[in-house]
Amino acid sequence: NAGVTQTPKFRILKIGQSMTLQCAQDMNHNYMYWYRQDPGMGLKLIYYSVGAGITDKGEVPNGYNVSRSTTEDFPLRLELAAPSQTSVYFCASSYSTSGQGHGYTFGSGTRLTVV
Amino acid sequence: AQSVTQLGSHVSVSEGALVLLRCNYSSSVPPYLFWYVQYPNQGLQLLLKYTSAATLVKGINGFEAEFKKSETSFHLTKPSAHMSDAAEYFCAVSVASGGSYIPTFGRGTSLIVHP
């Protein structure tokens, strides 16, 4: 079982550059989430999706965009990278939106540095 | 809106001692509650979850947590700490909002285990 796969694992961007963080899950989960993790701040929800074609903003969506064209994939786009976006990004998925069953399954993260 | 408070950003115990990690939540409706563990440079792994069944929940690696509605708490305990328990622990709450459940995470507690 691959679970949730995130690529790349590490990336250094220059200010103003753009990139896409990839996330794919093979568990046929409808619900997918993007979080950022900053030291001492826990996880902040950026965007989430309740199914293909449906996305919604989380707590900290500014500077990011998402799309959900298939059940499996949920890419996160940074258009104009800023130093404030230096963080570790986690993608997660769940069978039910409440987390019943197996809870939320997380990828191994993407460590992004913007210089 | 729900929130999660984890008391103590760091908890230090000796190997073999009791582990107690505190989590309090605020929610106007019955929540689903989770504890996750994060080892260095890894994603989050589900330890245990409360989904309105038994109030005492047993998880992996000998951890358990008790849901106390009157205290709005969901503290994590383990009778005897092991060196391998050293990690970051996150409490999370999932509450219905507009037809979906949005998981919210606490800031995390770093567990340090001394020999």
Tokens linked to B71 = 């205290």
A97 to B9: CB separation less than 8 angstroms, yes or no: no
B51 to A98: CB separation less than 8 angstroms, yes or no: yes
pLDDT at residue A102, as a whole number: 66
pLDDT at residue A55, as a whole number: 95
3-state secondary structure of A105: strand
A35 to B105: CB separation less than 8 angstroms, yes or no: yes
B3 interfacial to chain A (CB closer than 8 Å): no
A97 to B101: CB separation less than 8 angstroms, yes or no: yes
B80 interfacial to chain A (CB closer than 8 Å): no
The 3-class SS string of chain B reads CCEEEEECCEEEEECCCCEEEEEEEECCCCCEEEEEEECCCCCEEEEEEECCCCCEEECHHHCEEEEECCCCEEEEEECCCCHHHCEEEEEEEEEEECCEEEEEECCCEEEEEEC
A31-83 pLDDT, tens digit per residue, is 999 999 998 888 999 999 999 999 999 999 999 999 999 999 999 999 999 99
Chain A residues touching residue B42 (CB < 8 angstroms) = 108-109
Which residue in B41, B43, B46 is closest to A103 by CB distance? B46
pLDDT at residue A34, as a whole number: 97
The answer for residues whose C-beta is within 8 angstroms of residue A38's C-beta and 6 or more apart is A44, A87, A88
The fraction of chain B above a pLDDT of 70, given in percent, is 98
B43 to A90: CB separation less than 8 angstroms, yes or no: yes
B31-70 pLDDT, tens digit per residue, is 889 999 999 888 899 999 988 778 899 999 999 999 998 8
Which residue in B49, B105, B108 is closest to A103 by CB distance? B49
Q: How many C-beta atoms surround the C-beta of residue A10 within 10 A?
A: 10
Which residue in A56, A92, A98 is closest to B101 by CB distance? A98
pLDDT at residue B103, as a whole number: 82
Rg (CA), chain A: 13
Distance linking the first and last C-alpha atoms of chain A: 36
B69-100 pLDDT, tens digit per residue, is 889 999 999 999 999 999 999 999 887 777 77
The fraction of chain A above a pLDDT of 90, given in percent, is 82
pLDDT at residue A39, as a whole number: 84
pLDDT at residue B65, as a whole number: 96
The answer for residues whose C-beta is within 8 angstroms of residue B36's C-beta and 6 or more apart is A103, A106, B44, B45, B46, B47, B89, B90, B91, B92, B105
In the structure, what pLDDT confidence band is assigned to residue A100 with cuts at 50, 70 and 90?
Answer: low
In the structure, what pLDDT confidence band is assigned to residue B27 with cuts at 50, 70 and 90?
Answer: confident
